[in-house]
Chains A and B, each alone.
Chain A
Amino acid sequence: MSQQPELGVIHDIGFRHYTGPRLGRGYLLRSLYGESLRGAYGLGRSGKSKVMPFLLLAVMTIPALITAVVAAVTKADELPVAYTQYQNTLFLPIAIFVAAQAPALVSRDLRFKVMPLYLSRPLGRNDYVLAKFGALSSALLILISVPLVVLYAGALLAKLPFWTQTRGVLQGLAGAVMLALVLAGIGLLIASITPRRGFGVAAVVTVLLLLSVVAAVLQNLAITNEKQKLAGYLGAIDPGNLVDGVQVWLFNVEPSSQAGPPGTLGGVVFLLLTIAVVGISYGLLLLRYRKVSAS
């Protein structure tokens, strides 16, 4: 470079860079996770955004309350609905929650093009996906666990046998974890495809319900054709049933659908499928976010 005549000078006016401690990636991840989780319940956002999640939480919890009260009043031996069956019975509100909140978590960032803001920090794309996935899974876990805990508390107060109840609620919670992961994966993957929130909601709920209805129809077809085993496998199409099947096999409980997974092989297949669904949807999410522009 040739010597340029000095036409202008940048003055040192004492602008100071931040030289203090920086908290690093872990802190970033935890912050994004926490903020997304709170956002899934509308905390930290406008009043209106709290209505839906808390309404759904109430819809999930009230039947548990009623069941517990009924059990106490009628002095029953056991709960009318098993812990492991609860999430399948209330699949609809859970599905609506995923459909409503998955777009709230990811579509807004895409629509208002703030991804470059996220990505220009030490937060990588994969970290973003991890944080969002973790947040929605946790939000769903809370949604399903709260009623289970209420049911458990009610059962204990109704003086139902301690160990059976405790075992039951732990099994239910294990199922809740699996369902939360599966639905979070599917929901986020579909929602991340569109920046339009309304369409994202419609797409997620359509897919979830479609899988549920198709599974029920095919199972029915198989059963009337005396193909019990096939019916069992076909149940895996429905994500709710898939997780339920794993519970049936692991914990030896009653299936919530027309046919559970047939035998040990069925149980193993269901478990592997569950892990595969979570893994594949997470992987596809990572791929999808690789294509998001960072500028």
Chain B
Amino acid sequence: MNATIARLTWRSLLGRRRAVLLMVLPAILLILAVMFRVFQGADADNAAFLLGIFGVPFLIPLLGLIAGTGSIGPEIDDGSIVYVLAKPLSRYKIVVTKLVVAIVVMIAFGVLPILAAGYVLANGTSKVAIGYAAGSFAAGITYCALFLLLAVMTRNAVVTGLLYVLVWESAVGTFVPGAQALSIQQWGMAITEKIIGAPAEDLRATSPVGLTTAVVLLIVLFVGTTAYAGYRLRSIRLTSDE
């Protein structure tokens, strides 16, 4: 961890326009949660529904994308990364520092709001809030690491990441059962399912992936992508504008 890099990354991630985008999403989640509470009362079913349609497949992957690519993408794009790289710093340290900042942003704008929304809607019954928060955390940090790697590897990281999340995880996952085993979303849901326990079936908060498999895959992908990102950063080319 390098404090200066952390500070610079934090400032760039929470620059004006990106900050607005980052704040709007959880704000809307919470407004919807309150609306559900007012019109339908506190209910685990509602919590599972809202978090299962807004939180897990939408909020977390998109936050992972914005925070993961945003933590290093713009610097590589305009070439200012050279000031970080022309220093006697381990590339792995640089990657880990940026990843930590991205994860903090993801927790602040994703995991905590999901936890809050869960409590608003389910009042701690059947551990729904904690379940979804934990699953979101696990999936979220993996998304951040994956998208940070993508940003190191290609200038088109955001679109590529989108294709993965939207086409592979959502669409293909619906039509091709095997694909679901390779979906970060589903691995996170396995953790959610475990924490919620018995009622998960009724709440449709289940995952086709077993818990052990999911946790192993999450760890492997998280560590693997981070390490590979550091490796690629050692050889990155300082190209001219586009």
Contacts and interface: CB of A to CB of B under 8 A. Distances in A.
Q: Decide if A and B touch, CB cutoff 8 A.
A: yes
A214 B27 CA distance: 12
B62 A201 contact: no
Interface in B130-174: 156-159, 162-163, 166-167, 170-171
Given A59-B167, A198-B158, A199-B74, A213 B49 contact: no
A96 interface: yes
Interface in B43-95: 49-50, 53-54, 58, 62, 65-66, 69-70, 73-74, 77
Given A198-B74, A203-B21, A221 B35 contact: yes
9 contacts: A48-B156, A52-B156, A93-B167, A96-B163, A100-B162, A205-B166, A210-B24, A214-B32, A214-B54
A202 B158 contact: yes
B54 A99 contact: no
B54 A199 contact: no
Contacts of B58: 209-210, 213
Interface of A: 48, 52, 55, 59, 92-93, 95-96, 99-100, 108, 112, 193-194, 196-199, 201-203, 205-206, 209-210, 213-214, 216-218, 220-221, 224-225
Given A96-B159, A96-B162, A210-B25, A194 B39 contact: no
B18 interface: yes
B21 A221 contact: no
Given A48-B156, A221-B35, 5 more contacts: A95-B166, A99-B162, A193-B17, A198-B73, A225-B39
Report, nearest first, the 10 A-B pairs whose CB atoms are least far apart.
A201-B158, A198-B158, A100-B159, A92-B166, A202-B66, A198-B73, A213-B58, A213-B54, A202-B158, A96-B162
Main secondary structure on chain B at its contact with chain A? helix
Given A59-B167, A217-B54, A209 B21 contact: no
Interface residues of B, number: 36
A224 B66 CA distance: 34
Nearest to B35: A221
A217 B53 contact: yes
B202 interface: no
A264 B166 CA distance: 35
Contacts of A210: 24-25, 28, 58
A218 B21 CA distance: 21
Contacts of B166: 92, 95-96, 205
Contact of A213 (B53, B69, B158): B53
A112 B163 CA distance: 27
Contact of B17 (A59, A199, A225): A199
Interface in B190-225: none
Contacts of B242: 108
B74 A196 contact: yes
Contact of A92 (B17, B74, B77, B170): B170
B159 A221 contact: no
Given A93-B167, A203-B21, A213-B53, A198 B28 contact: no
A198 B162 contact: no
A295 to B, nearest CB: 21
Contacts of B159: 52, 96, 99-100, 201
